[in-house]
Structure 1
């Protein structure tokens, strides 16, 4: 037998050994690349707001950002707004109250009579110059003097009429020209040396200077507001003037102090306003003399300033000539916005008069029904 001298014969490389060697080589290559990448890219590693690591690749490796696709422009219809023309100011309708007798309060003809006369408001004499009332009053003074009406259902009929939709009603109150109440209680009256003072038509007067007289008239105004009248017209809302009678026969004193007539008249105006506090929608109107409105003044204790302060509307005789018309216009200009627009109770001189808000048909006075 051939001797091998201690060596086995060679049989070739093992397959397992070859695979292991290949894996080791691959791992070494990966390790070398990882180490190289660590050193090369460590300056480009940063942490974002999400807390994760990010690599800032070189610009040539970054994927170009796609430009945003523009949205198609949608065509819109152009709307041309044509402003509407400003309407021409229209003239205010004339305020034309038609005076009717008290019977029209209940007979159902009031509105038809107003329309037949071409008016747009109704005026009733609710306290006339004689002193009688056109409604049933709860005031003790009215009851004791016999001034209150006594017709059953009268007040309810008045409320129904005043509640008519679109109907404007005015209650005239002859404030201190009152023939009845001073006769029954002369402590309220203006006095002469021989008794109650009477004007040229032999009518008695209450005194504005007596608080109880003012309270009575203010109470009448409040009751009329409660009955639903839209406006209360204060006529003879002051002391008598020389046009009313002989003032020389008046007894001077607390009831009549010619040196200070306006104080009592202003107190009355204040008291009426207080009486109407619960009825803010009721207008308060006052009638004045032509002389007062023309700036001449009179002996009533009224003044243009008081009218502007307390009245919502003013009634007066229309100017009869150009000079009076100019004087009226100057008075209106003097008080400006404080002066209510006038309501003329007689036909006025038209050419130079201020804006006329009322001209009675056929002349006459609205304070005299049927004139």
Structure 2
């Protein structure tokens, strides 16, 4: 009598199960005596399934991005007005030249059309100066910076004492060098300085650098008449000046003061104020304190 199909299949399955059991038992026996390593078998299987991945060294570190080269700090050289014809020579190896366009005594390095500048005798008496400056500013490859002593001004305060900062006694206040300072809250002061800066931008300077654009921090500052809201007063003036220069292709920069990070800083400068300028410059003594702004070192004057 022929054996049923189900019986034959049962014997075949039983044989396969027995064979698998025997193979597993043999594998375990070989592992136990150290002939076969489960880890090596696992690695081999991984190599069959993904040969490229298994071939990669386990210690290979991911590729790191190449850091970009840091930009070198701007370096300027001071250019005295009597040396305008030597600008290219003096600028060799530097990034630009810095010219004194308004000195702390209030005198200007160019001929101004601002009426008040003529009235107080601040305007330059050289009729050829402006054309010489235009020609200099048009020199290919030469970067020019007009330095403006903003609030430190002798001529204007001498002519109009009410425009300056005062001592408690009412007399014009003077710093350790004997210079008087303008009051940035005065409308006439703001209009005057804005007019000068617009003229310098029109002459073609690449940058206008405001030095002494702060309340004084040196000298007998304890004798100053109360100047409340220094930060707000300075910020209001600077915003107005920045707006007045918005239609010119010129960078407006500022000399920072070392006390900018202090609460109620005597200079009136703040983080927010410094951040609104295209560049921050610093005297050597303040350079470390202004490191957060990557300040440019003010060039030495002869």
TM-score of the aligned structures, taking structure 2 as reference length: 0.73
Question: Match for residue 129 of structure 2?
Answer: 154
Structure 1 gap segments, 5+ residues each:
1-85, 333-339, 346-365
**Residues 80-99 of structure 1: CA deviation (Å, up to 9, x unaligned):** xxxxxx99844434311101
Residues 308-341 of structure 1, C-alpha deviation per residue, up to 9 Å, x if partnerless?
1x20100123478xxx95x655xx3xxxxxxx53
Aligned counterpart, 1:109: 86
User: Could you give the per-residue CA deviations for residues 6-32 of structure 1, whole angstroms, max 9, x where no partner exists?
Assistant: xxxxxxxxxxxxxxxxxxxxxxxxxxx
Check 1:328–1:228 CA distance in 2 against 1; reply closer, same or farther (3 A cut). closer
Of 94, 105, 110, the residue aligned with 2:73 is 94
Give 1:235's aligned residue: 211
Following superposition, the deviation at residue 303 of structure 1 comes to: 0.6
**Over alpha carbons, which structure has the higher Rg?**
1
8 Å Cα contact 1:171-1:232 kept in structure 2: yes
Cα gap change, 1:248/1:89 in structure 2, threshold over 3 Å: closer, same or farther?
A: closer
SS in 2 for 1:173: strand
Q: Does 1:307 align with 2:274?
A: yes
1:1-371 mapped onto 2 (5 Å cutoff): 89-105=68-84, 108-115=85-92, 118-192=93-167, 193-241=169-217, 244-252=218-226, 256-257=227-228, 260-279=229-248, 281-292=249-260, 298-308=265-275, 310-318=276-284, 325=288, 328=290, 332=292, 340-345=293-298, 366=299, 368-370=300-302
Question: CA 1:287 to 1:158, structure 2 compared with 1: closer, same or farther past 3 Å?
Answer: same
Distance 2:233 2:262 in 1: 21
Point out which structure has higher relative CO (alpha carbons under 8 A, 6+ apart). Answer: 2
Greater helix share, structure number: 2
What's the CA shift for 1:213?
Answer: 0.7
Deviations 1:127-171 (A, max 9, x none): 011110000001111111100002112111100100111110101
- Any conservation in 1 of the 2:75–2:297 contact (CA below 8 Å)? no
SS at match of 1:187: helix
Q: Residue 342 of structure 1: CA displacement?
A: 1.6
Quick one: structure 1 residues 188 and 311, their matched pair in 2 at CA, closer, same or farther if it must change by over 3 Å? same
Q: Distance in 2 between matches of 1:248 and 1:94?
A: 37
* SS in structure 2 at match of 1:291: coil
- The 8 Å contact of residues 234 and 286 in structure 1, kept in 2 or not, is answered as yes
Contact 1:173/1:232 (CA < 8 Å) preserved in 2?
yes
How high is the TM-score relative to the length of structure 1?
A: 0.60
Aligned residues: 237
Cα distance, 1:211 vs structure 2: 1.4
SS in 1 for 2:259: helix
For the aligned residue pairs, the C-alpha RMSD in angstroms reads 2.2
The separation in 1 between residues aligned to 2:68 and 2:110, in whole angstroms, is: 41
Secondary structure of 1:142's aligned partner: helix
1:227, distance to aligned residue in structure 2 (A): 0.5
Q: Unaligned stretches of 5+ in structure 2?
A: 1-64
